Structure formats: structure tokens, C-alpha cells
Amino acid sequence: MRMRPTLSWTPTEDLPPGTTDLEPVADALSTGGVLVLSGAGISTESGIPDYRGESGSLSRHTPMTYQDFTASAQARRRYWARSHLGWRTFGRARPNAGHRAVAAFGRHGLLSGVITQNVDGLHQAAGSEDVVELHGSLARVVCLSCGALSSRRELARRLEEANVGFEPVASGINPDGDADLTDEQVGDFRVVPCTSCGGILKPDVVFFGEAVPPQRVEHCRKLVREAASLLVLGSSLTVMSGLRFVRQAAQADKPVLIVNRDPTRGDRHALARVALPLGTALTTVADRLGIPVDGEAAARTRS
């Protein structure tokens, strides 16, 4: 059963106001056993916009849905043209202070795990280990016919060869790696098939309207059960794929803390929502705990 896409959320109740007090976050991390759940907001400082923030991409862009992608060859042409161009920019993004802080917390044994709703791989690039990619990764491609997995870099090479001279200028880039192009710019972009069976290729990510694999959901539920607390970083929790873990933690009387500048759908389940920029907030917490975040210090810690 596939989830119906949820693109927006409007509060229907009075939510507790945000705070700038980082003590609850520092206290939870100092105790250890913290499970991180991150969203697009943690990657904005790396140049990747979020969906629903002040300048979120949903104000100008409707993400591709699973239903449209599988039903229409034209939709797939439009998606792959935009995504191919976006990948050039998306692939150059680098971890920011927020990602590095999460990795530092993990190295110092304060985290029980990391679940990310992002598909950008920046947590791993910062040094976090055993990251659960709830919505998959843009770095992989899957065939919808035979299930073969392949590298996005290899697909990019094949698309370059099939579309020599494809150099449109995008008006923006979106959290899913999709560049903003007009139909005229997409033109007659050529989509390449699976090299194993000739089937339809799709990025190995969960599109809007598509369900997260059940075994992945259960693994995340297990992580919530085993965690001492849940720390949400940069997610509006609009979609149920992330909100369900907040509800699970709250129902089990586990502390839920949220760092997000705007109100979220999970605020009523949280002890507090810290309304500060993530990079600033997490590096401040790391400093209070005496944990180095910069790359040089991290390298010394690993050695």
C-alpha cells in the first residue's frame, strides 16, 4: 500500500513556542543513547534547499511522484533531464557544521544511531557511520524490472554520452537533486535503460507517494525502542515517514527534542523545539560538551 503524498502541513492547534535554550539538548547528549532523526534542514547550510522552510522549494516546485514516474515516459524524460543536471550541483555539496557535529557526537559514543530523511549522503561524508537512509540515496540507481542496483556516477556518464551538448541553465536546485528546467529546456532528452535487462531506471530513493520499504521502517522502529531519547534535526515532520518515529518515542515516554527554526508537526510530542540555525546550535552544544567538531580534531580522534 502506497502513502498518499503529503506536501504541506498547517497547524490546527496552538503549539508551544520555540526556544533558544540548548540545555535540554546538551543534557540529552551528555547522557548518551541519543537517536538522531535528520531532515532537509540540516543540509541547507551546504547549499541544498529544504522543502518547507522560508525559501523552501515547494513554493516553486512540485516533486516527482512515484505514480507519475512509473506511468509516463514523458514524466521520466522530464525527471531524468532535470535530475541529471541537478546531480552536477548536488554531487558537489559538502558537509556543513551540523553534519560534522553529528559525526563528532557519534565518535564520542553519545549516539545510538542516525536516521536521515535526506538522500544527499552528507552525514556519511562527514564521518557518521551506520546511517539509515530512510528515503534512500541519490548515489544509487535501481531497475524497476530486475531490481539491479548501479552507481549514479555510471548513469551520469551514460546520460552524458547519450545527450552530448545538454547544457541548460537551471533556475534552481531542489532537495531531491531535481533542477528547475522548463519543458523547452528538457527538449528531447534521451533516457537510457537498464544495462542488464533494458528496464526502467529510477533513483534508489523513495518518491512522494511511494512507501518506505517495510523492513527499513521496522529497523528504524527498533532503533527508537533501543534509544534513550530522540533528537530531531531540521525536519518539519510533515510526512508520516518521520513523524511516526516521534510518536513512537513519545508513546514510550522517551524524551523528544527538536532543533528546527519553524514549527513542526511533532512539536506537541517534544520537550522543546530549539528555534536556532542547526550549524550554530550543534556546534554550540559540542563546545559545551568539550567535543571538537572541526576536521583536524576529528582526524585526531579517529587516530
Please say if the pLDDT value at position 2 is more than 70. no
Q: What is the mean pLDDT of residues 256-275?
A: 95
Where is average pLDDT lowest: 49-63, 94-108, 115-129, 240-254? 49-63
Rounded Cα gap, residues 268 and 39, in angstroms? 18
Rounded Cα gap, residues 247 and 232, in angstroms? 12
Rounded Cα gap, residues 95 and 221, in angstroms? 27
Q: Which pLDDT does position 4 carry in this prediction? A: 42
Q: Which pLDDT does position 295 carry in this prediction? A: 57
Q: Which pLDDT does position 15 carry in this prediction? A: 78
Where is average pLDDT lowest: 1-5, 80-84, 227-231? 1-5
Q: Which pLDDT does position 201 carry in this prediction? A: 98
Question: Residue 74: enclosing H or E segment and its boundaries?
Answer: helix 73-90
Cβ neighbours of residue 296 under 8 Å, at least 6 residues apart? none
Residue list for the binding site for NAD(+): 39-59, 117-120, 234-236, 278
Please say if the pLDDT value at position 203 is more than 80. yes
Long-range Cβ contacts of 124-129 (<8 Å, 24+ apart): 125/94, 125/95, 125/99, 126/95, 126/99, 126/100, 126/102, 127/100, 127/103, 127/298, 127/302, 128/99, 128/102, 128/103
What domains sit in the chain, N to C, each tagged with a CATH number? 17-48+95-135+211-303 (3.40.50.1220), 58-92+138-205 (3.30.1600)
Confidence of residue 89 (pLDDT cuts 50, 70, 90): confident
Residue 282: helix, strand or coil by DSSP?
helix
CB-based burial, 103-139: b 16+ in 10 Å, e otherwise: bbbbbbebbbbbbbbbbbbbbbebbbeebebbbbbbb
Rounded Cα gap, residues 194 and 23, in angstroms? 51
Would you call 135 a catalytic residue per the annotation?
yes
Q: Which pLDDT does position 12 carry in this prediction? A: 63
Q: Look up cell 522517551; give the residue.
A: 254
∠ CA 129-134-138, nearest 5°, is 85
Q: Which pLDDT does position 58 carry in this prediction? A: 45
Whether 291 contacts 283, CB under 8 Å: no
Whether 144 contacts 199, CB under 8 Å: yes
Residue 201: helix, strand or coil by DSSP?
strand
Instruction: Report the chain's mean pLDDT, rounded to a whole number.
Output: 88
Strands across the sheet containing 136-143: 149-151, 136-143, 201-205
Residue list for the binding site: 39-59, 117-120, 143, 146, 194, 197, 234-236, 278
Confidence of residue 87 (pLDDT cuts 50, 70, 90): confident
pTM: 0.87
Helix axes 278-288, 97-107, angle to 10 degrees: 30
Q: Look up cell 587516530; give the residue.
A: 303
State the catalytic residue, choosing from 61, 135, 219, 269.
Answer: 135
Q: What is the mean pLDDT of residues 14-27?
A: 92
Please say if the pLDDT value at position 187 is more than 80. yes
Confidence of residue 54 (pLDDT cuts 50, 70, 90): low
Residue list for the binding site for Zn(2+): 143, 146, 194, 197
